[in-house]
Every structure is written in C-alpha cells, then in structure tokens.
Chain A
C-alpha cells in the first residue's frame, strides 16, 4: 500500500501556481513526506521532502498540515516543462525505502 492518496490528474495554466494535494492520514510521527516527479518516461527526479515544517527550495514549496495528515506541493510559476507525473511518497521502513503510488498527472496548459 502506498499510504498516500493523490488526484489522478490536474491541469494548471502556464505562469500560475500549481498546487498538488496529497493525503497521508496514517503517517507515523517519524515518517517523512517526499515529492518526486517523472517527466515522460525519464527517471524520477527528487523535488523536496519534509517532516513537519514547511519547506522551500529552488524548485518548489512543501506545505504540511499541523496534524501531518496531508500536504501540498506548490510550483510557484508553472511552465510547460513542469508537465509530469508527481508522486507523493511516505517512507515506511527503517531502511528508508520508498513506496510509490500512481501519482498525479499534472498538465500545464499554455
């Protein structure tokens, strides 16, 4: 089980902020939330991760609710090159191996 729930697909206009939600209601206190994306059939690309605090890097921002049961990945100014499948992942074992769901297909429209 992936332990995360994401919408199957989303659209966003180019230049606007893309907000991708993820539910992880059974997350444990020591489990991180990771976001990756996969453009076409390339290898997945790491975006960002967090435990309980909001995080920001050059690619995106991660907002985690106070109860940690859900999170949102924000791409502040989406471009056509951000069209990809976005995966929200919660690590589940002590060896930090990732369990992947089907992800959200994000389509950026001109």
Chain B
C-alpha cells in the first residue's frame, strides 16, 4: 500500500521560478487537499478537491493553482515562487468524510531563496 505519495521531498527554488508539487494516491479516495505548515504552526488549507474535475480554494490559495484531472492525482503549482512560500507542504486524501479521516503524505520541504 503506497498510500499518499508526494514528490519531491525537498526542493530549493529561486524567487520567481515556477514548479509543480506532485501528489498521488492509490486508495481511490475522492477527497484530496493541499496544506502548508510553517514552523511551530498548524496546517493551513491551500486548495482542495471533492472529486475529479472539482477544485476549490482554501484559506491561503494565493500564488497556487491546482487541477484534478484524475481521481489519483492532485498536483499543486507554484506560479512565481516567493520567499513567503517557504514551507512544508502536505497532501492528504480521504475516501469519505467525516469517515476515517485524512491520510497524509510525508511532505515536501520547499525553500525559496
């Protein structure tokens, strides 16, 4: 069982560069989310999806885009990286809600210089 797989695990970007954080799950989960976590803080919701073709904004969506073309994949795109986007990014998925809760990936540690 792979669960939720995030790539890459670490990334350093220069200000203004763009990149895509990958998230894939093999559990046939409908619900997927992206969170960011800054030092000493809880997670903040960036974008989420309740199924293929359906996405919506969370608490801190500015500077990020998402798409959900398949049930399995939910990539997060940074359009023009800024130092304020230095954070740890977590992807999560769930089969049903409130259900058994979310399964999280191991995170992507992003540094923007």
Chain A residues in contact with chain B, CB under 8 A? Answer: 2, 32, 34, 36, 41-47, 49, 87, 91, 95-103
CB-contact partner of B42 in A43, A46, A91, A103, under 8 A: A103
B50 within 8 A of A: yes
User: Contact residue range for chain B?
Assistant: 20 to 34
Q: Which residues of B contact A103 (CB under 8 A)?
A: 42
CB-contact partner of B102 in A2, A46, A99, A102, under 8 A: A46
Q: In the complex the two chains form, is B98's CB within 8 Å of A91's CB? A: yes
Interface stretch, picked from B69-77, B78-86, B104-112, is: B104-112
CB-contact partner of A32 in B40, B44, B98, under 8 A: B98
CB-contact partner of B104 in A34, A45, A95, under 8 A: A45
Q: What is the minimal beta-carbon distance from B53 to any residue of chain A, in angstroms?
A: 15
26 inter-chain pairs at a CB distance below 8 angstroms, sorted by A residue, are: A2-B42, A32-B98, A34-B98, A34-B101, A41-B88, A43-B4, A43-B92, A43-B105, A43-B107, A44-B90, A44-B92, A46-B100, A46-B101, A49-B101, A91-B97, A95-B48, A95-B56, A97-B58, A98-B45, A99-B59, A100-B35, A101-B42, A102-B40, A102-B41, A102-B42, A103-B42
Number of A-B contacts (CB under 8 A): 58
Q: Which residues of B contact A87 (CB under 8 A)?
A: 42
Chain B residues in contact with chain A, CB under 8 A? Answer: 4, 31, 33, 35, 40-45, 48, 50, 56, 58-59, 88, 90, 92, 97-98, 100-107
Q: What is the minimal beta-carbon distance from B78 to any residue of chain A, in angstroms?
A: 20
Q: Which residues of B contact A44 (CB under 8 A)?
A: 43, 90, 92, 102, 104
